[in-house]
Structures are given as C-alpha cells and as structure tokens.
Amino acid sequence: MDNNNEIKNMIKNKTLTFEQKVLSLAKLAENSIEVLNTTLKLKEYKEQGIICDLFEGNAPYRPRYILPDYEVFMKKGCEFLNIVPAQNIWEATNNLLIFYKHVPSITTMPVYLGNIDYLLEEFVIKESEETSYLAIKLFLKHIDSTITDSFCHANIGPRETKAGHLILKAMRELELPTPNLTLKYNDETSDELAIDCLNTALITAKPSFANDKMFREDFKGEYGIASCYNGLKIGGGANTLVRIRLGLVSKLAKSKNDFLERVLPEIAVETLMYIDERSRFIIEESNFFESNFLIKEGFLEKEKFTGLFGLVGLAECVNNLLVLEGTKERFGNSVIANELGMEIIKKLDELVKNHISKYAGLFFENRHLLHSQVGLDIDTNESPGCRIPVGEEPEIHEHILQSAPFHKYSPSGIGDIFVFDKTFKHNPEAILDIIKGAFKHNMRFFSEYSIECDVVRVTGYLVKRSEIRKLDRGETVLRDTTVLGKGARDNGQALERKLRKKNDV
C-alpha cells in the first residue's frame, strides 16, 4: 500500500477516535524518513521479525520511557508551566494533572505518574476524608479519561499512608484500567496495606507487588515502576527498548552449542548496536536533552537514562533447542529445560554487561539493561519474556520456584501473572502468604487478579473485558491498549492463564 492510500485509509477509519487518528498519522510521517545508520544484517533480522524495535519509529525524537522526579516538582513547582507549589489537595492534584500533560514517552503520554500516595499525603492529612476522597477520585477519573493508554503507571508504598488507602478505595469504586498501579512491598509494609491492595486487585487487577528490596539494590535507591512493570531510575528512564524473539532466533541454530556460541552472540551484537544507534540519535540529534524543560529544570538527568535489551520467547527457544538435542522436555516443567533456559539468560546477561556504551548513562556505568519484555499483540508462538507458556503452568508453588531464579537478571522488568478464583476474595491473606514466600525466593514482581474481574492484566498492561467485546463488535473504544489486549487475547491466549483455586494453594 502506498503512503497516500495508507493516510487516506487512516483518516476514514471508523473504529479510531480523533486522538488515535492524530497519533497514527504522526507515526506515518515519522516512518516516512530514514535517519538511522544501521547494518544490512540488522535490516535482515528486522524483516525476519527476529529483532524488533516495538514500533518506536524510524526517527526517535524522545526517550521511550521517562520518569520525572515528581517530588522535586511538588516542592518547587515548574517555571516553564508557571506552576507554584500546591497549598491544598485541589491544587496538588491539579498541578500534577497539568504536569502529566507535558511528560512525553513512546506513547506520547506519560508512562510514569510517581508515588502518588507520597505526593498527596501531606495534603490529604490536612483535609477531611470526604474532601480528600473526592479530590483523589476526580484525579484518577481525569487520568483515565485523558491518558487513554494503560501503559500509564503509578506507584504506592512501601510505607502506609492515608492517601494510599483512599487511592485504593477509589480504584475499587471506579474499576478503571488507567492508571496501572504497583505497590512497592518490603518487610516494613504493613499487612493492612498489603491486604487492602489485594482486595483491590481482586476487583480491578491492580496493584501488582514489586520486591522493593531487589529494586532498591539494583537502582541504588529510588526507582519507579513504569509502563507494564519496568523498573527504572527516578529522574531518568530508558532511551529505547529493542527486543529479540528467542523462539525465532533458535531456528537459526544447528544445535544447542551452535546457538550459545555463534547465533546468540551475533544477534546480541546487532541488537546492542541498534540500541546504541537509536540512543545516539535521541541524544545527539533530536535535541531532547538540550531543549526540554524537564531537563532544564532538574526533573530529569541524562546520565540516569539507559537502553533496554528486551527478550521474548525463552520458553519456545528452549523447547526448540531441546528438539535439536533429541528430547521433548518442556520449559517450566522439566529440570533439563529450566537449566537450559538459565544457561541462555546467563549468556545474554554476560553479553549485555560486557557491552560498554557512551549512550548509556554514567549512573548505569555505561551499560544497557536486560529486560524480560511482555510481548506484542501480534506475537504468535512466542511467550512473554521468561514466562511459561499459557496452558502449561505447573502448580503455583512450583511455578514460583521455577520462575524466581530468572528475575534477578532483568532489573528493568520481569514478572509473572496469577489468576485466582472468587474464593480468594474471602481469604486474601492466603495470597499475601504466597507473595511473601515468592519474594523470599527473590521473585521481583508478582501480579494477580480474580477470574471475575472486568479489568484484567493482559501481559503487563490492563484492559477491560467489556471494552474488548465492544471492539469485537466493531465499535470505537477510548483506549488504544484495548486493541493490543484484543490481539494478545486472540494470538497469545493471554486471558486463558491457569486458574488458581483455593484447594490448589
């Protein structure tokens, strides 16, 4: 299809909102030019789908993920936006909503909203609970209606706050997919807050639980959970995320050893060079770090940005390689398969850490980070990151023990999702015990929801089942992530995970 027809068809598309059309047309314009210096080998790998830049575009002009220091904003305001520090809950929520409008990302909308309980707590305790709750509810409703992309992510915890409980209460009442939410959980997090979070998650599929101890060690202090489950440094972010599809990569190998010694290193080199090139253009040519007010006023620092080396399809890769070795053992249910999976991840970890790049910030010692990517709606026969394929999950304790060892190798994001039956609504303490045990085994990120939820977690982001059904009928939907959720449902069986029942735990 030529570019003129593609533009015309986009304009005539009845299933897109006005905003979705504008963003789609902008992407067509960006992709109409070539500005990156890449190798012929990379182009071949991209055409084969082996290396994928997740539709970031041909001319990257802003970092993919941005995590402003919102605490700095709340304390000093913003000169560029003519905002002075808030004096009450209404000014606080209004200031944040204005600021969010000017935080870009790969989606053009903010993927990180800050530790919203901490940001609002000093104002909440000055007001009546009724006033604070109304302000928070309107704040969350505004976010869902204007940031129409559920890669938008907020954090709460680990400390218990009055604001945190009001945020959870409002999320239960509203049942909206945006913003996504994560509880930073550590040994000091009260059981009361954790149970309140689980009661909320069993209604609206959020918050997830992040292992605060692991993330703080990896990021040397303050960090944020953005997008799906991406751990990144506050005041920084990620310039780009390029992934490899390990299932496809494995098909280039003649044997397990050929894969580890020749194929994987060759693919990794091309991927790392591509991450560098995309980062180079953003840093040296787009002028984002020279001109954007977020940098000029100290909300972001260039040295706290890095690149992400993503992977999907570890399970399919392992299974394919074991067929070459003459066995039908399956990843997630076999010691041999799990050990091979670990060998592959350790090799990738080594390759990424050995690559020194001037386009990765000094905070990260000029290294990019390994990332267990959640997949795309168009992926088939390629499980997200290091996850066990849907339909092959073992019992939950076995699942956690199998998965947890992989989590330390992806500081910028990895996680597992567990679906619980309705009986757990009467016993959320049982899920909390599971999470505590999982974190003791160094699981990094734990997501949960109930089989009865309308809001469900797809691969990392949230959608509403009722909105997917509207899309099935050809109706327009507000959030572009609903389209991604439909694709993940149809192509990756993302909503068919094993149901965890009370008697199984």
Residue 377: the pLDDT is 80
Q: Indicate whether 100 and 225 sit together in one domain.
A: yes
pTM score: 0.95
Q: Count Cβ atoms below 10 Å from residue 423 Cβ, excluding itself.
A: 13
Show the domain range for 357.
35-62+241-407
Q: Indicate whether 41 and 148 sit together in one domain.
A: no
pLDDT digits (tens, 9 = 90+) for 72-123: 999 999 999 999 999 999 999 999 999 999 999 998 999 999 999 999 999 9
Q: Indicate whether 431 and 497 sit together in one domain.
A: yes
Q: Indicate whether 441 and 337 sit together in one domain.
A: no
In 216-329, where do the E strands start and end?
223-226, 230-233, 236-245, 305-312
* pLDDT above 80 (res 478): no
**pLDDT-based confidence at 493, cuts 50/70/90?**
confident
Q: Across residues 282-311, what is the average pLDDT?
A: 97
Residue 119: the pLDDT is 98
Q: Indicate whether 139 and 283 sit together in one domain.
A: no
Q: Indicate whether 3 and 47 sit together in one domain.
A: no
What residues form DSSP beta bridges with 370? 309
Q: Indicate whether 342 and 364 sit together in one domain.
A: yes
Q: Indicate whether 106 and 218 sit together in one domain.
A: yes
Instruction: Find the helix or strand (DSSP H, E) in which 486 lies.
Output: helix 481-492
What residues form DSSP beta bridges with 457? 462
Give a yes or no: residue 216 inside a domain. Answer: yes
Give a yes or no: residue 235 inside a domain. Answer: no
Residue that terminates a domain, selected from 407, 424, 452: 407
pLDDT digits (tens, 9 = 90+) for 389-435: 999 999 999 999 999 999 999 999 999 999 999 999 999 999 999 99
d(CA 236, CA 299): 9
Residue that terminates a domain, selected from 363, 380, 407: 407
Q: Across residues 306-330, what is the average pLDDT?
A: 97
In 297-402, where do the E strands start and end?
305-312, 369-372
Residue 1: the pLDDT is 47
Give a yes or no: residue 438 inside a domain. Answer: yes
* pLDDT above 70 (res 503): no
Q: Indicate whether 190 and 339 sit together in one domain.
A: no
332: left (phi over 0), alpha (psi -120 to 50) or beta: left
Q: Indicate whether 397 and 251 sit together in one domain.
A: yes
pLDDT digits (tens, 9 = 90+) for 344-379: 999 999 999 999 999 999 999 999 999 999 988 888
Q: Indicate whether 55 and 79 sit together in one domain.
A: no
Residue 504: the pLDDT is 64
Q: Indicate whether 268 and 341 sit together in one domain.
A: yes
Place of tokens 């006023």: 297
Closest CA to 430 of 199, 159, 213: 199
* pLDDT above 60 (res 54): yes
Give a yes or no: residue 23 inside a domain. Answer: yes
Q: Work out the mean pLDDT of the chain and round it to a whole number.
A: 94
Give a yes or no: residue 234 inside a domain. Answer: no
Give a yes or no: residue 482 inside a domain. Answer: yes
**pLDDT-based confidence at 487, cuts 50/70/90?**
confident
Instruction: Find the helix or strand (DSSP H, E) in which 211 lies.
Output: strand 208-211
Residue 290: the pLDDT is 95
Which residues, 6 or more positions from 387, have their beta carbon under 8 angstroms from its beta carbon?
314, 315, 372, 403, 416
* pLDDT above 90 (res 467): no
Give a yes or no: residue 306 inside a domain. Answer: yes
Structurally, the chain folds into a number of domains equal to: 3
pLDDT digits (tens, 9 = 90+) for 245-272: 999 999 999 999 999 999 999 999 999 9
What residues form DSSP beta bridges with 180? 153
Give a yes or no: residue 236 inside a domain. Answer: no
Burial of 468 (0-12, 13-18, 19+ CB in 10 A): buried
Query: 3-class DSSP state for residue 56?
Result: coil
